[in-house]
Structure 1
Amino acid sequence: MSTKRAPARAYFLRRLYQKSAHIFAGSLIQGFAMGVFLFPHSIPSGGGAGIAVLLNYWFGMPMSLGLWLTNISFLLFAVHYLGRISAIGTIMVITVTSVSVNYFEVYFHSPFANVWVNLLIGSLFLGIGISILFRERVTNGGIGFVALAIAKRKRINPGSALFWMNGGIFLLTAIVIDWKIIIQALLCQWLSTRIVKWLHTPSVIGKRPLYFMAWRRK
């Protein structure tokens, strides 16, 4: 019996290693996008990042710490409705992304001074990172879990719930800091969404819908 189970165990461990490596890589790439290109210009890549920008503006809290606290809080709020198993991968994403944001903010700086060039490059890397995470069926932040929980409870479209949550946070950030932020945030979301859709491979991801990003059903 143990001989028969050995190949299955080896396959499971190999798949677990591959999945963890992909999640780590996707988190690292999106952390690179935020820490080097987006956060230095206070451009939020999502609702959680928007709150992190506000915490940094109001209290001087490091972006990486604000991002981690915000996403973990969202995740803990929604895990009761959506289950613990699917939250494990998201915890890994949140932690690796936050640590990498802190590292890249300190040791790497964009070679470009123009905010729009940084927005373009940051959105490109962000879309690549999110695409890798989606292929492993994990969300890129805790706010996606809240949107899914609201959608489950209220029986509404998860994409609509996430749109209004992110939109409200972006609007508040723009009012408090600079009105241009909402334009930059929306453009970042649109560009990263294009990258995700471009890299989306149905044969890999399958036909199961993914609702973890704003403004679209996947």
Structure 2
Amino acid sequence: MSYLSKKYILIFIGAVIQGFSMGVFLFPNAIPTGGAAGITVLLNYWIHVPLSLTLWILNSSVLLFAYQYLGGGYVVGTLFGITVTSVSIDVFGKFLDTPFSNVWIDMFVGSIFFGIGITCLLRQGVSNGGIGVIAYIISRYRHIDPGKPMFWINGFIFVITAYVIDWQIVIQAILCQWISSKIINWLYNLSVEVKAPSLAWRKK
């Protein structure tokens, strides 16, 4: 199997895990995982646009806009991941229900799976698109840390989402970001060393 085939298989797995977390645990409770997800939840709440379709349009539009900054390989891989994630959200959302009856447990479990899925994507040199791409472009032009524009953009969208739907969403969205970030930081830097078994016979 070629390196490119392995890369896209791992992107597929990460995108499916991400879609599972959003379709089963987070989106049914209107918990946004970022700025693009917050807009997705809002549009679904206001005009009942399908979550998967809205998320794909938002993420792919931002990604194509940033083509000249990020390069073709990054864009193609990320667009593939975005597409698989959107389809997974739709499939899991229709055929699977959360086994829990508590929104906070859903948020916790969903955040863990979300972090695992994002890590799979990042380790293959792609992302899940969204506001992070805009923040990256702003940081390059303004010469600032991309975390700052990302924080303010996501925060603004979270506040609007909470105002329209429920103020509890702000706390849940922040916790979701914190838990998933911890998972990403841990797994992204995790290295597993596999040692081949020794075939040498012990001397007697």
What is the TM-score when the length of structure 1 is the normalising length? 0.84
Q: Please show how residues 51-62 of structure 1 align to structure 2 within 5 Å.
A: 51-62=39-50
1:125 aligns with 2:113: yes
Question: Quick one: distance in 2 between partners of 1:186 and 1:141?
Answer: 19
The equivalent residue for 1:49 is 37
Unaligned runs of 5+ in 2: 193-204
Deviation at 1:194, TM superposition (A): 1.0
Note if contact 2:35-2:130 (Cα within 8 Å) is conserved in structure 1.
no
Unaligned runs of 5+ in 1: 1-12, 205-218
Letter in 2 for 1:130: I
Q: Please show how residues 59-138 of structure 1 align to structure 2 within 5 Å.
A: 59-138=47-126
Number of residue-to-residue matches in the alignment? 192
Letter in 2 for 1:76: L
Higher-Rg member (1/2): 2
Letter in 2 for 1:51: I
Deviation at 1:70, TM superposition (A): 1.1
The equivalent residue for 1:140 is 128
Q: Please give the per-residue CA displacement for 1:59-117, whole angstroms capped at 9, x wherever unaligned.
A: 10011111111111221222233333321111011100000000000000001110001
Note if contact 1:90-1:139 (Cα within 8 Å) is conserved in structure 2.
yes
Letter in 1 for 2:38: G
The equivalent residue for 1:174 is 162
What is the TM-score when the length of structure 2 is the normalising length? 0.90
Between stretches 49-58 and 70-79, larger displacement belongs to: 70-79
The equivalent residue for 1:3 is none
Deviation at 1:137, TM superposition (A): 1.3
Question: Quick one: distance in 1 between partners of 2:149 and 2:70?
Answer: 15
Bigger relative CO (Cα 8 Å, ≥ 6 apart)? 2
